[in-house]
């Protein structure tokens, strides 16, 4: 009873008065009063990037707060980018069936925990302000909007009220330089009509800029790792000890899970269970480990994975839903996934297992002469092999030879490489193969795990991590370029740096990635 009482004290409360967020009321709304940013050169316009979008189901009255970017169309309309997997989109479809307009209100600012709660991977129909109250240890006070019946935080800075008409034609939204590090391409989304803008007397407009990781959203992912470990253990898999979403994997491309293993097959059991759990359904690569291993020490983690993984037995490939922002799959929001059981194997799991020990003294001289120095390979990195990790990174120019991946596979099939290399990663020639973060981000972003892996020997796998726009036969979808600042912006900031008074000069991060773009900085698509 005491626990219930304490929990109830954290539930949101509806006030019967106006809130701080309604000190100024603009019934003739003009979004031009807000300093909305155009973040990247090829964005389709200016975007509100930290909106807490409030919706309600028309039948159950269950409320939801989600974060969906909003492109400014004119002074009183925006696009509303709620993706097909999101609760906002579910509410939209429910309102469509009623034939009525859908009330929508957008909160900006207030307690920063509201922003986090709007992004948190909560189960549907769990109120985000319950989580916010729990995190800040006091309830969230809500007030009714002026022009619709939705409730918003009393202490928000700005509220944008309005509606979406489900019977209205969709609008063309995007492109947008997204948190994937690539442009998400334009598509059709609902139009949001603004009926009123309210704000506090000293309102602050909040915004974030996403792009090539790590950006601010990476820290939100780190918070999720800590906050949701206990709920996942309690409700899904009690054997989970830790999980980690590396920055290069942009939260859903790679998840590493550590378990307390006690019986054979437990690693695969965890993979199968979590692959459909909440936001983990979008995960492309899921690696499960056990034992005394720090899953944030990547070098040690890689050693552990290779010591405990037989590719012929410990890889599982499936199809399933992907985030709509994923550009690598042949089909929109649907593609391949891979699970890797890298747990320490028990005696019952050793039957038929290959000898997977790695040699401390790999002789790569013949490999270098016969394969790596071939004309079709633009560069190679064997630093990981030197560190006793059986991984080679190669770069090729697929834009000049659409059949180059098959040629690379042919080169490796002519040699006995199992004692030297178990994983061959092939990236584009524009990738700096000495930059492990860049390599990892490109691998995770540009691959469909099921489509792009191939065994070139019983124990060795090659993964094609190149741009698929250049593959033989072409690609059925548009392939976006990476997100970088334009050369004019970089030059302008460089010239103004000393006047900012913010310390030692820092080169634009975009300078590292401009070479990854194709057809120059004026193109959004790879052709």
How far is it, in rounded angstroms, from Cα 482 to Cα 85? Answer: 24
Determine which one of 43, 157, 178, 247 is catalytic: 178
What ranges in 321-400 are assigned the alpha helix state H? Answer: 365-367, 383-386
| Structure-block tokens of residue 226 | 């800590």
3-state secondary structure of 102: strand
**Termini Cα distance of the chain:** 63
Instruction: Work out the angle at residue 468's Cα, subtended by the Cα atoms of residues 466 and 472, and round it to the nearest 5 degrees.
Output: 110
Q: Measured between alpha carbons, how far is residue 60 from residues 54, 63, 66, 67, 388 in Å?
A: 15, 9, 18, 21, 58
Cβ burial, residue 108 (10 Å; 0-12/13-18/19+): buried
- How many CB atoms within 10 Å of residue 265? 14
How far is it, in rounded angstroms, from Cα 27 to Cα 30? Answer: 9
How far is it, in rounded angstroms, from Cα 309 to Cα 354? Answer: 9
* Contact assessment for residue 394 and residue 383, using Cβ atoms and an 8 Å cutoff: no
How far is it, in rounded angstroms, from Cα 158 to Cα 153? Answer: 10
Label each residue of 478-511 as H, E or C.
CEECECCCCHHHHHHHHHHHHHHCCCCCCCCCHH
How far is it, in rounded angstroms, from Cα 383 to Cα 501? Answer: 40
* Contact assessment for residue 379 and residue 394, using Cβ atoms and an 8 Å cutoff: yes
- How many CB atoms within 10 Å of residue 61? 8
Name beta bridge partners: 151: 144
Q: Which residue has the tokens 């391409």?
A: 185
| Structure-block tokens of residue 89 | 């989109």
* Contact assessment for residue 145 and residue 152, using Cβ atoms and an 8 Å cutoff: yes
In 3D space, the residue among 172, 173, 175 whose CA is nearest the CA of residue 40 turns out to be 175
* Contact assessment for residue 460 and residue 392, using Cβ atoms and an 8 Å cutoff: no
How far is it, in rounded angstroms, from Cα 271 to Cα 290? Answer: 13
187 tagged catalytic? no
Active site residues: 178
């Amino acid at each position: 009873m005491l626990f219930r009482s304490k929990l109830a004290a954290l539930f949101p409360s509806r006030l019967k008065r106006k809130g701080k967020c309604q000190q100024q009321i603009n019934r003739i709304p003009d979004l031009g009063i807000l300093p909305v940013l155009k973040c990247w050169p090829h964005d389709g316009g200016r975007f509100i990037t930290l909106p807490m979008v409030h919706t309600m189901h028309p039948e159950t009255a269950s409320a939801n707060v989600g974060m969906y970017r909003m492109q400014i169309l004119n002074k009183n309309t925006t696009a509303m980018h709620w993706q097909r997997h999101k609760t906002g989109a579910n509410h939209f479809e429910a309102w469509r069936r009623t034939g009525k307009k859908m009330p929508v209100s957008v909160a900006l600012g207030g307690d920063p925990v509201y922003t986090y709660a709007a992004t948190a991977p909560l189960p549907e129909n769990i109120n985000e302000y319950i989580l916010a109250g729990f995190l800040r240890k006091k309830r969230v006070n809500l007030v009714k909007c002026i022009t619709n019946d939705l409730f918003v935080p009393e202490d928000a800075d700005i509220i944008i009220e309005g509606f979406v008409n489900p019977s209205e034609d969709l609008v063309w939204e995007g492109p947008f330089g997204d948190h994937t590090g690539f442009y998400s391409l334009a598509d059709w989304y609902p139009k949001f009509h603004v009926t009123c803008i309210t704000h506090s007397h000293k309102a602050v407009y909040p915004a974030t800029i996403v792009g090539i990781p790590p950006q601010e959203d990476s820290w939100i992912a780190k918070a999720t790792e800590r906050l949701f470990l206990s709920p996942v253990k309690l409700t899904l898999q009690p054997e989970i000890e830790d999980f980690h979403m590396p920055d290069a994997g942009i939260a859903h491309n790679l998840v590493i899970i550590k378990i307390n293993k006690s019986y054979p097959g437990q690693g695969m059991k965890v993979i199968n269970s979590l692959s459909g759990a909440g936001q983990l359904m979008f995960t492309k690569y899921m690696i499960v480990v056990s034992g005394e291993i720090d899953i944030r020490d990547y070098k040690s983690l890689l050693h552990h994975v290779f010591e405990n993984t037989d590719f012929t037995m410990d890889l599982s490939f499936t199809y399933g839903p992907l985030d709509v922002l994923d550009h690598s799959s042949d089909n929109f929001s649907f593609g391949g996934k891979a699970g890797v059981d890298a747990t320490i194997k028990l005696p019952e799991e050793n039957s038929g297992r290959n000898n997977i020990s790695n040699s401390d003294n790999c002789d790569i001289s013949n490999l270098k002469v016969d394969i790596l120095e071939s004309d079709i390979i633009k560069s190679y990195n064997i630093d990981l092999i030197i560190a006793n990790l059986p991984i080679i990174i190669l770069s090729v120019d697929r834009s000049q030879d659409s059949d180059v991946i098959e040629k690379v596979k042919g080169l490796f099939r002519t040699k006995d490489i199992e004692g030297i290399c178990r994983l061959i990663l092939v990236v584009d020639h524009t990738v700096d193969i000495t930059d492990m973060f860049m390599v990892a981000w490109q691998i995770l972003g540009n691959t469909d795990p099921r489509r792009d892996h191939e065994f070139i020997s019983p124990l060795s796998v090659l993964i094609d991590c190149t741009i698929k726009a250049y593959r033989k036969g072409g690609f059925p979808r548009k392939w976006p370029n990476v997100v970088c600042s334009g050369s004019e912006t970089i030059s302008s900031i460089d010239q103004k740096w000393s006047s900012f008074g913010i310390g030692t000069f820092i080169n634009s991060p975009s300078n590292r990635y401009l070479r990854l773009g194709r057809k120059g900085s004026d193109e959004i698509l790879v052709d």
